[in-house]
Structure 1
Amino acid sequence: MNDAPSPVLLLPGWQNSGASHWQTLWEQRYGYMRVEQDDWQRPRRGDWMARLEEVLLAADRPCWLVAHSLGCQLVAAWAAHTRHGSRVRGALMVAPPDTEREDMPPQLHSWRPVPRQHLPFRATMVISADDPYCTLRRAGTMAQDWGATLVVAGALGHLNGESGLGSWDEGHLLLTALRST
Protein backbone atom coordinates (compact mmCIF):
# COMPACT_ATOMS: atom_id res chain seq x y z
CA MET A 1 0.00 0.00 0.00
CA ASN A 2 1.28 3.46 -0.92
CA ASP A 3 1.18 5.81 2.08
CA ALA A 4 2.60 8.82 0.20
CA PRO A 5 0.35 11.88 0.05
CA SER A 6 -1.87 12.24 -2.99
CA PRO A 7 -0.24 14.21 -5.81
CA VAL A 8 -1.16 17.84 -6.48
CA LEU A 9 -1.75 18.78 -10.10
CA LEU A 10 -1.53 22.42 -11.21
CA LEU A 11 -3.97 23.43 -13.95
CA PRO A 12 -2.99 26.83 -15.39
CA GLY A 13 -5.35 28.87 -17.49
CA TRP A 14 -5.13 30.38 -20.94
CA GLN A 15 -1.53 31.21 -21.94
CA ASN A 16 -0.13 29.16 -19.01
CA SER A 17 1.23 30.58 -15.74
CA GLY A 18 4.38 32.70 -16.02
CA ALA A 19 7.48 32.93 -13.83
CA SER A 20 5.92 35.26 -11.23
CA HIS A 21 2.61 33.35 -10.98
CA TRP A 22 1.91 31.61 -7.67
CA GLN A 23 1.29 28.31 -9.51
CA THR A 24 4.84 28.38 -10.90
CA LEU A 25 6.21 29.28 -7.47
CA TRP A 26 4.25 26.41 -5.87
CA GLU A 27 5.59 24.05 -8.53
CA GLN A 28 9.13 25.09 -7.61
CA ARG A 29 8.65 25.19 -3.83
CA TYR A 30 6.43 22.16 -3.24
CA GLY A 31 7.17 19.97 -6.25
CA TYR A 32 3.58 19.99 -7.53
CA MET A 33 3.11 18.83 -11.12
CA ARG A 34 1.88 21.18 -13.85
CA VAL A 35 -0.45 19.56 -16.37
CA GLU A 36 1.04 20.69 -19.68
CA GLN A 37 -1.34 21.38 -22.54
CA ASP A 38 -0.45 21.12 -26.24
CA ASP A 39 -1.75 24.58 -27.06
CA TRP A 40 -1.79 27.33 -24.43
CA GLN A 41 -2.69 30.05 -26.95
CA ARG A 42 -5.74 28.45 -28.62
CA PRO A 43 -7.18 26.23 -25.88
CA ARG A 44 -9.79 23.75 -26.97
CA ARG A 45 -11.95 22.44 -24.18
CA GLY A 46 -12.08 18.86 -25.50
CA ASP A 47 -8.31 18.68 -25.92
CA TRP A 48 -7.65 20.04 -22.44
CA MET A 49 -10.20 17.64 -20.92
CA ALA A 50 -8.57 14.67 -22.70
CA ARG A 51 -5.14 15.69 -21.39
CA LEU A 52 -6.41 16.00 -17.80
CA GLU A 53 -8.09 12.59 -18.06
CA GLU A 54 -4.86 11.07 -19.38
CA VAL A 55 -2.78 12.49 -16.50
CA LEU A 56 -5.31 11.42 -13.85
CA LEU A 57 -5.57 7.88 -15.18
CA ALA A 58 -1.77 7.59 -15.27
CA ALA A 59 -1.44 8.62 -11.61
CA ASP A 60 -0.98 5.83 -9.09
CA ARG A 61 -3.60 7.30 -6.73
CA PRO A 62 -6.28 10.03 -6.67
CA CYS A 63 -4.97 13.59 -7.03
CA TRP A 64 -5.70 17.09 -5.78
CA LEU A 65 -6.31 19.76 -8.41
CA VAL A 66 -5.18 23.38 -8.15
CA ALA A 67 -6.77 25.34 -10.99
CA HIS A 68 -6.38 28.95 -12.01
CA SER A 69 -8.61 30.87 -14.41
CA LEU A 70 -9.50 28.70 -17.43
CA GLY A 71 -8.17 25.76 -15.41
CA CYS A 72 -11.30 26.13 -13.25
CA GLN A 73 -13.50 25.77 -16.30
CA LEU A 74 -11.41 22.72 -17.22
CA VAL A 75 -12.13 21.09 -13.85
CA ALA A 76 -15.87 21.69 -14.19
CA ALA A 77 -16.03 20.52 -17.82
CA TRP A 78 -13.93 17.42 -17.15
CA ALA A 79 -15.97 16.52 -14.05
CA ALA A 80 -19.24 16.89 -16.00
CA HIS A 81 -18.13 14.35 -18.62
CA THR A 82 -15.77 11.87 -17.00
CA ARG A 83 -16.54 8.46 -15.56
CA HIS A 84 -13.42 8.80 -13.41
CA GLY A 85 -14.40 11.52 -10.93
CA SER A 86 -13.06 9.34 -8.11
CA ARG A 87 -9.55 10.05 -9.45
CA VAL A 88 -9.81 13.51 -7.81
CA ARG A 89 -9.77 14.03 -4.03
CA GLY A 90 -10.68 17.71 -4.24
CA ALA A 91 -9.96 20.99 -6.02
CA LEU A 92 -8.80 24.50 -5.21
CA MET A 93 -10.28 26.65 -7.96
CA VAL A 94 -8.96 30.20 -8.24
CA ALA A 95 -10.38 33.09 -10.31
CA PRO A 96 -12.67 31.29 -12.77
CA PRO A 97 -13.40 33.40 -15.83
CA ASP A 98 -16.91 33.87 -17.14
CA THR A 99 -16.39 32.40 -20.61
CA GLU A 100 -19.97 33.27 -21.57
CA ARG A 101 -19.30 37.02 -21.42
CA GLU A 102 -19.61 38.84 -24.73
CA ASP A 103 -16.14 40.38 -24.37
CA MET A 104 -14.28 37.07 -24.01
CA PRO A 105 -11.58 36.57 -26.67
CA PRO A 106 -12.64 34.35 -29.59
CA GLN A 107 -9.97 31.80 -28.60
CA LEU A 108 -12.13 30.95 -25.58
CA HIS A 109 -15.46 30.44 -27.36
CA SER A 110 -15.08 26.63 -27.27
CA TRP A 111 -15.42 26.94 -23.47
CA ARG A 112 -19.11 27.81 -23.78
CA PRO A 113 -21.44 27.01 -22.17
CA VAL A 114 -20.11 27.05 -18.62
CA PRO A 115 -20.84 23.63 -17.05
CA ARG A 116 -23.51 23.73 -14.34
CA GLN A 117 -23.12 20.24 -12.81
CA HIS A 118 -22.19 19.75 -9.18
CA LEU A 119 -18.60 18.52 -8.82
CA PRO A 120 -18.25 14.92 -7.54
CA PHE A 121 -15.52 15.99 -5.08
CA ARG A 122 -14.86 18.76 -2.54
CA ALA A 123 -13.88 22.14 -3.87
CA THR A 124 -12.94 25.58 -2.61
CA MET A 125 -13.30 28.49 -5.03
CA VAL A 126 -11.25 31.63 -4.39
CA ILE A 127 -12.30 34.82 -6.15
CA SER A 128 -11.30 38.47 -6.18
CA ALA A 129 -13.74 41.30 -5.63
CA ASP A 130 -12.42 43.09 -8.72
CA ASP A 131 -11.54 40.28 -11.14
CA PRO A 132 -11.73 41.79 -14.64
CA TYR A 133 -12.86 38.45 -16.15
CA CYS A 134 -15.72 37.56 -13.80
CA THR A 135 -18.12 39.49 -11.60
CA LEU A 136 -18.65 38.52 -7.97
CA ARG A 137 -22.24 37.58 -8.74
CA ARG A 138 -21.29 35.32 -11.64
CA ALA A 139 -18.48 33.66 -9.64
CA GLY A 140 -20.95 33.06 -6.81
CA THR A 141 -23.33 31.35 -9.23
CA MET A 142 -20.55 29.10 -10.53
CA ALA A 143 -19.50 28.19 -6.98
CA GLN A 144 -23.09 27.32 -6.12
CA ASP A 145 -23.58 25.29 -9.31
CA TRP A 146 -20.35 23.39 -8.72
CA GLY A 147 -20.94 22.89 -4.98
CA ALA A 148 -17.75 24.76 -4.07
CA THR A 149 -17.10 26.68 -0.87
CA LEU A 150 -16.65 30.33 -1.85
CA VAL A 151 -13.81 32.49 -0.48
CA VAL A 152 -13.51 36.16 -1.46
CA ALA A 153 -9.82 37.08 -1.20
CA GLY A 154 -10.34 40.84 -1.45
CA ALA A 155 -9.66 43.16 -4.38
CA LEU A 156 -6.70 41.38 -5.98
CA GLY A 157 -7.44 41.47 -9.71
CA HIS A 158 -7.27 38.10 -11.47
CA LEU A 159 -5.24 36.48 -8.66
CA ASN A 160 -2.31 35.95 -11.02
CA GLY A 161 1.30 37.09 -11.37
CA GLU A 162 0.19 40.68 -12.04
CA SER A 163 -1.70 40.69 -8.72
CA GLY A 164 1.60 40.79 -6.79
CA LEU A 165 0.75 37.72 -4.71
CA GLY A 166 4.24 36.20 -4.81
CA SER A 167 4.04 32.62 -3.55
CA TRP A 168 0.54 33.40 -2.19
CA ASP A 169 0.86 31.75 1.21
CA GLU A 170 -2.80 32.50 1.99
CA GLY A 171 -3.84 30.41 -0.99
CA HIS A 172 -1.58 27.57 0.04
CA LEU A 173 -3.18 27.61 3.49
CA LEU A 174 -6.56 27.15 1.79
CA LEU A 175 -5.18 24.15 -0.11
CA THR A 176 -3.74 22.72 3.09
CA ALA A 177 -7.10 23.14 4.83
CA LEU A 178 -8.92 21.46 1.94
CA ARG A 179 -6.46 18.55 1.98
CA SER A 180 -6.91 18.05 5.73
CA THR A 181 -10.70 17.62 5.63
Structure 2
Amino acid sequence: MTTHVLILPGWQNSGPSHWQSLWEKSLGYTRVEQHDWIKPLRGDWIARLEETLLDLPEQDNAVLVAHSLGCIQVAAWAAHSINTQRVKAALLVAPADVEREDMRQILPSWAPIARQRLGFKSLVYASSNDTYCSLERSTSFAKDWGATLLLAGERGHLNGQSNLGDWPEAQAQLQRLMNQA
Protein backbone atom coordinates (compact mmCIF):
# COMPACT_ATOMS: atom_id res chain seq x y z
CA MET A 1 0.00 0.00 0.00
CA THR A 2 1.27 3.44 -0.96
CA THR A 3 0.23 6.72 0.60
CA HIS A 4 -0.09 9.55 -1.91
CA VAL A 5 0.17 13.13 -0.65
CA LEU A 6 -2.22 15.37 -2.55
CA ILE A 7 -1.78 19.16 -2.55
CA LEU A 8 -5.06 21.13 -2.59
CA PRO A 9 -4.37 24.83 -3.16
CA GLY A 10 -6.90 27.54 -2.51
CA TRP A 11 -8.47 30.19 -4.68
CA GLN A 12 -6.16 31.35 -7.50
CA ASN A 13 -3.79 28.40 -6.90
CA SER A 14 -0.50 28.50 -4.98
CA GLY A 15 2.33 30.49 -6.56
CA PRO A 16 5.99 29.44 -6.83
CA SER A 17 7.00 30.82 -3.39
CA HIS A 18 4.07 29.17 -1.59
CA TRP A 19 5.05 26.33 0.75
CA GLN A 20 2.65 23.99 -1.11
CA SER A 21 4.52 24.59 -4.37
CA LEU A 22 7.86 24.12 -2.64
CA TRP A 23 6.67 20.83 -1.11
CA GLU A 24 5.35 19.65 -4.45
CA LYS A 25 8.69 20.36 -6.09
CA SER A 26 11.03 19.08 -3.37
CA LEU A 27 8.99 16.22 -1.91
CA GLY A 28 7.25 14.94 -5.04
CA TYR A 29 3.71 15.53 -3.81
CA THR A 30 0.88 15.74 -6.36
CA ARG A 31 -1.11 18.93 -6.91
CA VAL A 32 -4.80 18.43 -7.67
CA GLU A 33 -5.28 20.71 -10.66
CA GLN A 34 -8.59 22.53 -11.00
CA HIS A 35 -10.33 23.55 -14.21
CA ASP A 36 -10.88 27.11 -12.96
CA TRP A 37 -8.70 28.67 -10.25
CA ILE A 38 -10.19 32.16 -10.65
CA LYS A 39 -13.95 31.46 -10.55
CA PRO A 40 -14.06 28.16 -8.69
CA LEU A 41 -17.29 26.22 -8.38
CA ARG A 42 -17.62 24.05 -5.29
CA GLY A 43 -19.20 21.13 -7.14
CA ASP A 44 -16.42 21.09 -9.73
CA TRP A 45 -13.70 21.15 -7.08
CA ILE A 46 -15.38 18.37 -5.07
CA ALA A 47 -15.72 16.25 -8.23
CA ARG A 48 -12.07 16.81 -9.12
CA LEU A 49 -10.92 15.60 -5.69
CA GLU A 50 -13.20 12.56 -5.93
CA GLU A 51 -11.84 11.72 -9.42
CA THR A 52 -8.25 12.07 -8.23
CA LEU A 53 -8.81 9.76 -5.27
CA LEU A 54 -10.63 7.15 -7.36
CA ASP A 55 -7.78 7.21 -9.91
CA LEU A 56 -5.36 5.98 -7.24
CA PRO A 57 -4.72 2.22 -7.13
CA GLU A 58 -7.48 0.58 -5.07
CA GLN A 59 -5.14 -0.57 -2.28
CA ASP A 60 -3.56 2.90 -1.87
CA ASN A 61 -4.70 5.82 0.24
CA ALA A 62 -4.06 9.55 0.37
CA VAL A 63 -3.09 12.32 2.73
CA LEU A 64 -4.57 15.70 1.83
CA VAL A 65 -2.57 18.91 2.28
CA ALA A 66 -5.03 21.77 1.82
CA HIS A 67 -4.70 25.54 2.05
CA SER A 68 -7.43 28.18 2.34
CA LEU A 69 -10.30 27.32 -0.02
CA GLY A 70 -8.76 23.85 -0.35
CA CYS A 71 -9.71 23.24 3.31
CA ILE A 72 -13.32 24.11 2.55
CA GLN A 73 -13.12 21.80 -0.47
CA VAL A 74 -12.01 18.93 1.78
CA ALA A 75 -14.86 19.54 4.25
CA ALA A 76 -17.44 19.72 1.44
CA TRP A 77 -16.06 16.59 -0.23
CA ALA A 78 -16.01 14.63 3.06
CA ALA A 79 -19.64 15.59 3.75
CA HIS A 80 -20.79 14.12 0.42
CA SER A 81 -18.40 11.34 -0.60
CA ILE A 82 -18.80 7.64 0.09
CA ASN A 83 -15.04 7.26 -0.42
CA THR A 84 -13.67 8.99 2.68
CA GLN A 85 -11.92 5.75 3.67
CA ARG A 86 -9.45 6.49 0.84
CA VAL A 87 -8.10 9.39 2.94
CA LYS A 88 -5.71 8.58 5.77
CA ALA A 89 -5.37 12.13 7.12
CA ALA A 90 -5.57 15.82 6.22
CA LEU A 91 -3.45 18.86 7.04
CA LEU A 92 -5.79 21.86 6.72
CA VAL A 93 -3.93 25.16 6.69
CA ALA A 94 -5.60 28.57 7.06
CA PRO A 95 -9.18 27.65 6.15
CA ALA A 96 -10.95 30.46 4.31
CA ASP A 97 -14.14 31.77 5.89
CA VAL A 98 -16.28 31.78 2.75
CA GLU A 99 -19.37 32.63 4.83
CA ARG A 100 -18.12 36.19 5.37
CA GLU A 101 -20.10 38.68 3.32
CA ASP A 102 -17.05 39.89 1.35
CA MET A 103 -16.11 36.30 0.50
CA ARG A 104 -19.66 35.32 -0.48
CA GLN A 105 -19.51 37.93 -3.24
CA ILE A 106 -16.23 36.55 -4.59
CA LEU A 107 -16.96 32.83 -4.09
CA PRO A 108 -20.76 32.54 -4.18
CA SER A 109 -21.03 28.75 -4.56
CA TRP A 110 -18.95 27.93 -1.47
CA ALA A 111 -21.27 28.81 1.44
CA PRO A 112 -22.42 27.28 3.66
CA ILE A 113 -19.29 25.58 4.95
CA ALA A 114 -19.71 21.86 5.68
CA ARG A 115 -19.28 21.44 9.43
CA GLN A 116 -19.54 17.64 9.83
CA ARG A 117 -16.75 15.52 11.32
CA LEU A 118 -14.39 14.60 8.53
CA GLY A 119 -14.09 10.88 9.23
CA PHE A 120 -10.27 10.83 9.13
CA LYS A 121 -7.48 12.23 11.28
CA SER A 122 -6.95 15.92 10.64
CA LEU A 123 -5.09 18.96 11.83
CA VAL A 124 -6.07 22.61 11.31
CA TYR A 125 -3.14 25.05 11.25
CA ALA A 126 -4.31 28.61 11.95
CA SER A 127 -2.73 32.05 12.23
CA SER A 128 -3.91 34.60 14.77
CA ASN A 129 -3.90 37.41 12.19
CA ASP A 130 -5.24 35.68 9.08
CA THR A 131 -7.15 38.22 6.98
CA TYR A 132 -9.33 35.48 5.44
CA CYS A 133 -10.46 33.81 8.67
CA SER A 134 -10.54 34.85 12.31
CA LEU A 135 -8.88 32.61 14.87
CA GLU A 136 -12.29 32.15 16.47
CA ARG A 137 -13.73 30.76 13.22
CA SER A 138 -10.70 28.53 12.57
CA THR A 139 -11.09 27.15 16.08
CA SER A 140 -14.77 26.49 15.45
CA PHE A 141 -14.05 24.72 12.14
CA ALA A 142 -11.42 22.52 13.79
CA LYS A 143 -13.83 21.55 16.56
CA ASP A 144 -16.67 20.72 14.17
CA TRP A 145 -14.41 18.78 11.79
CA GLY A 146 -12.94 16.76 14.68
CA ALA A 147 -9.49 18.16 13.92
CA THR A 148 -6.64 19.10 16.22
CA LEU A 149 -5.97 22.86 16.18
CA LEU A 150 -2.40 24.13 15.89
CA LEU A 151 -1.58 27.83 16.23
CA ALA A 152 1.08 29.27 13.96
CA GLY A 153 1.26 32.67 15.67
CA GLU A 154 0.93 35.91 13.72
CA ARG A 155 1.82 34.75 10.22
CA GLY A 156 -1.02 36.08 8.09
CA HIS A 157 -2.74 33.70 5.69
CA LEU A 158 0.10 31.15 5.85
CA ASN A 159 0.78 31.56 2.15
CA GLY A 160 3.66 32.75 -0.05
CA GLN A 161 3.44 36.26 1.43
CA SER A 162 3.97 34.83 4.92
CA ASN A 163 7.62 34.07 4.02
CA LEU A 164 7.44 30.53 5.38
CA GLY A 165 9.79 29.06 2.78
CA ASP A 166 9.40 25.29 2.71
CA TRP A 167 7.94 25.55 6.24
CA PRO A 168 9.79 22.72 8.02
CA GLU A 169 7.61 23.18 11.11
CA ALA A 170 4.50 22.19 9.14
CA GLN A 171 6.39 19.39 7.37
CA ALA A 172 7.17 17.92 10.79
CA GLN A 173 3.51 18.22 11.82
CA LEU A 174 2.43 16.51 8.59
CA GLN A 175 4.86 13.66 9.22
CA ARG A 176 3.58 13.31 12.79
CA LEU A 177 -0.01 13.32 11.53
CA MET A 178 0.77 10.64 8.95
CA ASN A 179 2.49 8.47 11.56
CA GLN A 180 -0.50 8.73 13.91
CA ALA A 181 -3.16 7.98 11.29
The answer, yes or no, to whether TM exceeds 0.5 is: yes
Counterpart of 2:73 in structure 1 is 74
Does residue 51 of structure 1 match 2:42? no
Task: Describe the superposition over 1:28-48 as per-residue Cα deviations: whole angstroms up to 9, x where unpaired.
Answer: 110000000000000100000
Counterpart of 1:174 in structure 2 is 173
| 2:142 partner SS | helix
| 2:99 partner SS | coil
Contact 2:104 2:110 in 1 (8 A): no
| 2:154 partner SS | coil
Tell me how far 1:101 sits from its aligned partner.
Answer: 0.5
Equivalent AA in structure 2 for residue 34 of structure 1: R
Counterpart of 1:7 in structure 2 is 4
Counterpart of 1:62 in structure 2 is 61
Counterpart of 1:161 in structure 2 is 160
**TM-score between both structures, scaled by the size of structure 1:** 0.97
Counterpart of 1:102 in structure 2 is 101
Equivalent AA in structure 2 for residue 138 of structure 1: R
Tell me how far 1:116 sits from its aligned partner.
Answer: 1.0
Equivalent AA in structure 2 for residue 155 of structure 1: E
Tell me how far 1:105 sits from its aligned partner.
Answer: 5.6
Task: Describe the superposition over 1:37-63 as per-residue Cα deviations: whole angstroms up to 9, x where unpaired.
Answer: 000000100000000000000111110
Equivalent AA in structure 2 for residue 127 of structure 1: A
Task: Describe the superposition over 1:51-105 as per-residue Cα deviations: whole angstroms up to 9, x where unpaired.
Answer: 0000000111110000000000000000000000001000000000110001216
**TM-score between both structures, scaled by the size of structure 2:** 0.97
Find 1:27's aligned residue among 24, 27, 50. Answer: 24
Tell me how large the CA RMSD over aligned residues is: 0.8
Contact 2:126 2:150 in 1 (8 A): yes
Does residue 17 of structure 1 match 2:14? yes
Distance (Å, rounded) in 1 between the aligned partners of 2:104 and 2:97: 11
- Say how many residue pairs are matched: 178
Contact 1:43 1:107 in 2 (8 A): no
Counterpart of 2:84 in structure 1 is 85
Contact 2:104 2:111 in 1 (8 A): no
Report the identity percentage. 56
Tell me how far 1:18 sits from its aligned partner.
Answer: 0.1
- The gaps in structure 1 that reach 5 residues or longer are none
Equivalent AA in structure 2 for residue 170 of structure 1: E
